[in-house]
Structure 1
Amino acid sequence: MTSQLPRRLALRGDLLDFTGMPEWATIETPAVRFRPDHWVLIEDGRIVGAQPAAQPPDESWERHDYRGRLVLPGFIDTHVHSPQIDMIASYGTELLDWLNTYTFPAEMCFANPAVAHAGAARFLDALLESGTTSAVVFPTVHKGSAEALFAGASARGMRLVTGKVLMDRNAPPSLCDDVVKAERDCVDLIERWHGVGRNSYAVTVRFAPTSTPEQLQMAGQLCAAYPTTYMQTHVAENRDEVKWVQSLFPEARSYLDVYTRAGLLYSRSVLAHGIWLDDNDRAAIRDSGAQVAHSPSSNLFLGSGLFDWNGAVQAGANVSMASDVGAGTSLSMQRTLADAYKIQALNGQRLTAWKALHSATRGAAQALGLEREIGSFDIGCTADVCVWDWARGLVAERRDQLVRDLHERVFAWLTLSDERNLVAAYVAGVKRHAADAATAAQQEVALPA
């Protein structure tokens, strides 16, 4: 795929993004910005405006006509494991057994630099193939696995948040580091990659059971010393996990409190799962400005539990959307959001298309403090743009013909579509993925510059 940046690029289609946060269970909302048959204008890799198709840009723009197709900001996946695509769809266990049986063996392979680089390239291309242009990523404990991700994302122009995983107990010896070496590796990675291009470092604690109190303290000190870094970890995913944490940290009020005591709960904390939190925990997340990275497909697949999204909303906590591959079963954000709808239905709630889609675009960007860069078509944002077919296949095409309003159409699209609907993915104004050559001519009408 081309890596050349056209200075002035115009894409025509049905533009959909958000200007604010949709309310829970509300379909009619001013937060939705839908501009059917418009041009989105991109200059030097950034959004500079939009205008109706009836007012086409002049010939100084490189124009690509995707009329009749849905144009969205690139998706943002706030929790995903890059090495775990090697063992996605593994059968039969809950979280703790699953880690020992499948996850840790897969991650051991990334000690080999060649495996790490090939795995990073495969993972990043798979994200783009699914319409995800930004991600918060767990690599492995190996320093080289984080370096490979940073380098690969830089080559593709993607927004990436990642960092070497910290584990110094309760894991295979080959996946354990020590406090001194881990700190040295983190500092080196921060100083070489954090804030370089579109890369950000995340102090990455696997989860409390695999870090000693000394390592957690070191991680908190790193966050304090480098306050613009992120922190990512898992919390309260599985009931047996919660009990284990209670036995390992009896002095802590709750699982979340383990991180709070170590200085790991702040506005840049990304907390995966958060199913088994209480009201005090939700209030702490709200007050800190941290976020819960909801991972619905993973929660269903491992039988971890049903996340109370509305409860988090009522408590004022930020919630973003995450595939959590490989416990999640697809990098497709549409499949992930469809599973989120099912979880809320089991909770007696109804998740609207607007609340769902917002959590994987502007909402995720705001939770990460990146709303001026990603997640919308606001002027000045980086032009991470994905073009989608509204429907693929006889069933979806028929459903699309019968929709009565915009919400119904978008909800049907979220439910019935996946990466096969993706026509093109642009990252910072550069086309990084397109449908196969056999159908490309039918999906895009390119106009001369």
Structure 2
Amino acid sequence: MVDPRLLLASVFLIIVNNCYVYGRPLTFIEQQVQLCINQDIKRQPVIIDTDTDVDDLWAIHYLLNVPTVDVLAITTVGDGYSKPFYSGSNVLTFLDLIGCSNGVGVGYGVNLPLMSSGYVIPSSLLDAIDSYMTSPTCLNQSANIFLQPSPFGSIELIKLSLKYSKIPVDILVLGTMTNIATAISEDRSIISKIGTLYFSGGQFKSINSYTSLVPNLTVATYPESEETSDGSPNAYLDILALQRVGMSGIKNIVAMPLITQDTMLINLTQLNETLKRLNIQLKPFVLSFISSFVKCTSPNQTESYLKWWDNSAAQFMVQMQTNNSQGFCLRTQKVKSHYILSADSHQFYGQGMIDVETFLPNAHGLVNYTICTEANSDIFLAEFLNKISSEKLYSCERQYNHRFDIKLQQCMLKFENAEQQLNVAKQTSFPKAYVSFDLFIFFVCYLSSR
């Protein structure tokens, strides 16, 4: 005979388990999918969202070699510095060239901003980036035509990775916010699963820096069609997406501002001197990949035009995740920022303002950011070169079938089929009993929550 105490305990556990399920986004079947994926949570899961500019690929290479980071997915956006078709294929080609052809899923994403700013990227720059890997005048590499993107598109990959990750996922945005804003708009429940959102770029200037908030159409055609040194492309190429993400309720947003990134000036001579001083040997392709930046993207620039934009954001993310007081970012600041669609029409659209509370005490829509305000180029470069020379590629150790997005697909298929069979069984066998028990559990959960 069954011990009544054991039976009572079993019923209690079933009720508690169902209350737990009812109180969270995941259903029982979805919990089984999550368990089936068997995610390794010893490292911090990260989604990298990128427009696939050259410095984005540097950032990806760096993060793949960081032992504390687990890159769950790389999602691409096609409204930045590479044309839509190339934004994903260039990531796949690059991963293959560094020995990570199957370790990380790459999803193709949105091609148009939520609201076009009117900015037009010079075609010469786009063409240079699109053919960066394979052009005979640049890296002259062969592309593997058999490389496959993730079975999920960027938006779906972002939503599902956040939903099924056992722990909150950090997101590193190296281009516009278009993919993230779209994913959040489609499923706001994922916001609670975002640990920290890290952003490369943006401006955080005092409101006094802006002479007017009204477009002056006599100054120039509005909006401008050429890039300005005063603006941050990742912000103004889709300012509406940036606003939506900022005001979505994400608890932690960290930015590596353009003004700080631009202070990190290192030329090729300094790069080679650092390699020699640290006794670091880079693979020929990797060395060529970094040093060819000037030649391949802007032939008229001098060798001092070696910028560390997006990969400085990647390193800042790792510094913040690990609470590294010896990192290259020497000073951080907490600010409240308000992003505007336009200012005086003279290249000032899509800018961030701080000190808004002081000058406009009744302003609404302010977003909390932690920003890096001072950086050390030497510390940054030493860390960057050491990591990309290690060739550990921690996030690439998984075999294809054990990759997060592939396991996700397999587990979803497995348990969704099981759920369908269970629903059929419920409808044909003892439907009243199932309904009664479900209602009983529902009311117990409801009463316990009051």
Taking structure 1 as the reference length, the TM-score comes to 0.29
Taking structure 2 as the reference length, the TM-score comes to 0.29
Give the number of the structure whose residues are more often helix, by fraction.
Answer: 2
Give the number of the structure whose residues are more often strand, by fraction.
Answer: 1
Larger Rg: 2
